[in-house]
Amino acid sequence: MLLALVEYMLSRGSIYIFCYYFLRPLFTFLINNPFRVLSYRLFDRFFLIRLLYAVYILFLYAVYILFLYAVYILFLYAVYILCIYTIHARDMSRFFAYTLTQPSCQPLRI
């Protein structure tokens, strides 16, 4: 549950940074200058910097999600192995406890 909370906080933070540094200036420009949009140089220096930063944030977010997914898969695999070996050990201990009490498994007395 704590991991889910941290994931939620980080995802909200990265989306907030993306919106603040990239979408907010873009929409501010569109609202303040609705008739100059067509004459605006789209590839000016600051727009490209904001675009690269937004792509970088989204890349970090994707790496973070893949890391969480990998940790989750490894956790499930560890639980699976633990359960399999626990069940196997329990069944084998029952098997040996049963077979060692049978007369056919007792040592021969001469």
Q: Is residue 82 part of a domain?
A: yes
**pLDDT 10s digits, 41-59:** 656 667 777 778 888 888 8
Residue with tokens 């999600």: 65
- The pTM score is 0.40
Q: What is the pLDDT of residue 19?
A: 65
- Tens of pLDDT, residue by residue over 45-100, are 677 777 788 888 888 888 888 888 888 888 888 888 887 777 777 777 776 666 66
Tokens 């994707």 found at: 62
Residue 10 belongs to a domain: yes
The two three-digit tokens of residue 61, written as one number? 């977010």
Structure tokens at 36: 């100059």
> Does residue 31 surpass a pLDDT of 80?
no
**What's the rounded Cα separation, in Å, for the pair 108 and 22?**
85
Residue 58 · residue 15 · CB < 8 Å: no
Q: Domain for residue 107, yes or no? A: no
* CB neighbour burial string for 1-36, b if at least 16 within 10 angstroms, e if fewer: eeeeeeeeeeeeebeeebeeebeeeeeeeeeeeeee
How many domains does one find in the chain?
1
* Domain extent at residue 23: 2-34+42-101
**Is 51 within a domain?**
yes
Is residue 108 in some structural domain? no
